[in-house]
Chain A
Amino acid sequence: MSSASHSSTAHVHRDDVGSRMGMWLFLFTELLLFGGLFILYSVYRFQYADDFHLAAKELNTILGAFNTAVLLTSSLTMALSIVAIQRDQRTLSLFLQIITIVLALFFLVNKFFEWTAKFHHGIYPGSEELLSKSSGEILFFGLYYVMTGLHGIHVIVGMFLIAVMARMTRRGTITHDNYVRLENAGLYWHLVDIIWIFLFPLFYLIT
């Protein structure tokens, strides 16, 4: 803990480590937000195990797996865009960020069709069809809409965030020696990915 260790970055008037640490602290609040919902899910799944299995049969596993692949790939392009900016390949970085946004949009379009199909079958919060089912199934779909919906909002926020980063990259605000904002946007995006990594098996793979 010698104070001399600070001197190497003393001439730079910014604190990238502190910036990333701040982002991580924010991510922990997100973790607790979703964590609370995961706790709720696990208690109800424990209580209504059979109903949850029955209700999960309504979900399309192939579509869920496909969306998982889309989101994992978008995380890859996000991570690669940071490597590109580190190597001072600005155009490539910009291109990878745009691909990330396109993949996020693709994820949301799939989600839209998935939800629309459910609505079409009369399964939406408060519908007669849903309310005629057992209480465990009602809870399953309630949690499904709340958790994938909240996750979807995070995907939209992430898209906007990356769009702002792309603009900054294009304008030269984000450069090969100043890219902590892009890293923080990346951290947010990967967290959204991690949440989906858990949502996917818990909702789609319990049949």
Chain B
Amino acid sequence: MEKHDYYNEHSHSYAIYILVWLALMALTAVTVAVAGMNIGRFTVVTALTIAAFKAYLVLTIFMHLRSETKTFLVFVIVALLFLGISFVLLFSDYSFH
């Protein structure tokens, strides 16, 4: 995937950012609307799924991860993995106390 040369082939287009912004605003509206409904324990799952998708859009488009080299992607995945590990370890410890 070496097809993106950051400074030469970058699209320099305004449109993609405006589209992502519209998606983020729509998702915010959806998450508020869903929270208003009474769907019990699925509320938090839905809210976090939407939040994760919004974060994904910001990371890939606004923060340009999509057009960076693969190294950046590996960095971010490793960082998120370690955060995930700390969550898993803490909860496994917590639930056996």
The interface of chain A, by Cβ under 8 A from chain B, is: 16-17, 20-21, 24-25, 28, 31-32, 35-36, 39, 42-43, 46, 61, 65, 68-69, 72-73, 75-76, 78-80, 83, 86-87, 183, 186-187, 190-191, 193-194, 197-198, 200-202, 205-207
Contact = CB atoms under 8 A, between A and B. Distances in A.
Contacts, number: 109
B13 A201 contact: no
B72 A73 contact: no
B48 A201 contact: yes
A17 B69 CA distance: 9
A36 B25 CA distance: 28
Contacts of B55: 194, 197-198
A190 B58 contact: yes
5 contacts: A25-B75, A28-B75, A72-B25, A72-B28, A198-B51
Contacts of A73: 21
A35 B83 contact: yes
List of 6 A-B pairs having minimum Cβ-Cβ separation, nearest first: A205-B35, A201-B47, A76-B21, A28-B79, A35-B83, A79-B17
Contact of B76 (A24, A69, A80, A207): A24
A6 B38 CA distance: 57
Nearest to B22: A76
A183 B62 CA distance: 10
Interface residues of B, number: 45
A75 B62 contact: yes
A177 to B, nearest CB: 8
Contacts of A68: 28
A31 B20 CA distance: 23
A86 B12 contact: yes
A86 B10 contact: yes
A14 to B, nearest CB: 12
Given A72-B25, A80-B17, A83-B14, A190 B32 contact: no
